[in-house]
Amino acid sequence: MLYAPPGRHLVRAKDLVDGRYAEPLTVGDLAAAAGLSRAHFSREFRRAFGESPHAYLLTRRLERAAALLRNTDRSVADVCLSVGLTSLGSFTSSFTRAFGISPTVYRRSFPPASAHAMVPGCVARAYGRPQNSTFREDTGAAAA
Amino acid sequence: MIKFAAAQLWVHDQDEALAFYTEKVGMEVKADVTLPELGDFRWLTVAPPGEDDVAIVLMAIPGPPVFEEETAEQVRALMAKGANSAIFLTTDDCRASYEELKARGVEFTDEPTERPYGIDCGFRDPSGNALRLTETRET
């Protein structure tokens, strides 16, 4: 077998978190991705990246949640579920610990998502044109 | 300097498409905004995790005032027949991605096949849009 530095295995666990944070991942899944036993994996991961696998997974989820709070108008509960967290209570407290403000206050500190969503001008013009059924009646009356 | 930002894909149902692209293909939501002033138009974009510069806009087929019913119906019919659009994606391991997506119930039209440019496979989204997944050969 070819020699691969241990970091190569550990980064697979990190890649799994970055790509699949929305799924119900456990530290056991991450250890399996790295091909190490759970206890050994957590120790090696911490040595390589300076934080525990659990902390990496949680902070990735919180980072993605912050992006959803800025870029979507989904509810806080929906954002929580969208990043793979299931308890709204723990989400709110972890988020507040990480960012210093609650998810709701964090969202309010940015312009609403609709203000910077890149909805093109052509879309706004096409969808914003009013539909008014009385215009048709007016035309009919004029033609009569 | 011109750069690529997003391309729109007509979809039969935005929620269905969203579930497919996130849960089955593994993309993430980049923007999801509903605008009441545009008749509840929903701007919904997805892209692979970490891909922040480009996105696919999952666009519902609109009725009036954008399309009259006949046009909307024609787009729906063409899409169902697979005559709408195609999206081209790349992967570092086509066979592994194929197995992964297949296990999640994705409907493949082409199994991984050797091509002059690499290995690729093809699948469809629930609306009938074609997607191509290519592992390019290192040159």
Matching residue, tokens 């959803």 = A68
The pLDDT tens digits for A97-123 are: 999 999 999 999 999 998 888 888 888
Q: What is the C-alpha to C-alpha distance for residues A33 and B18, in angstroms, rounded to an integer?
A: 27
- Shortest Cα distance from B49 to chain A (angstroms)? 6
Cα(B13)–Cα(A34) distance, rounded to whole angstroms? 38
**Is the Cβ pair A118, B62 closer than 8 Å?**
no
**Beta-carbon separation of B38 and A73 below 8 A:** no
Residues from chain A that touch B62, judged by Cβ atoms under 8 A, are 126-127
| pTM reported for the whole predicted model | 0.82
Residue A89 banded pLDDT, cuts 50, 70, 90: very high
> pLDDT exceeding 90 applies to what percent of chain A?
68
Residues of B in contact with A20 (CB under 8 A): 26
Q: What is the ipTM, given to two decimal places?
A: 0.73
B38–A71 CB contact, under 8 Å: no
Contact B65 A64 (CB under 8 A): no
What is the Cα–Cα distance from A83 to A59, expressed in whole angstroms?
Answer: 11
Chain B positions touching chain A (beta carbons under 8 Å): 5-6, 22, 26, 28-35, 37-39, 41, 43, 49-50, 62, 64-66
Output the six-digit token pair for B79: 């899409």
For residue B126, the model assigns a pLDDT of 93
Three-state SS at B61: coil
User: In the structure encoding, which two tokens stand for residue B53, read together?
Assistant: 């510069």
CB within 8 Å: A19 and B37: no
**Residues in chain A, how many?**
144
Distance from CA of A82 to the nearest CA of B (A): 9
Contacts of A73 in chain B (CB under 8 A): 32-34
A50-64, B48-62, B76-90, B109-123: lowest mean pLDDT where? B76-90
Residue A3 pLDDT class (50, 70, 90 cuts): low
What pLDDT score was predicted for residue B132? 95
Which residue did the predictor score with more confidence, A76 or A137? A76
Q: Which residues on chain A are in Cβ contact (under 8 Å) with B39?
A: 127-128
pLDDT per position as a tens digit, B66-112? 898 999 999 998 988 888 888 999 999 999 999 999 999 999 999 99
Q: How far apart are alpha carbons A39 and A53 in whole angstroms?
A: 11
Determine the pLDDT at residue A131: 79
**How many angstroms separate the CA atoms of B85 and A35, rounded?**
40
Phi first, then psi, for residue A128 (nearest 5°) are -90, -5
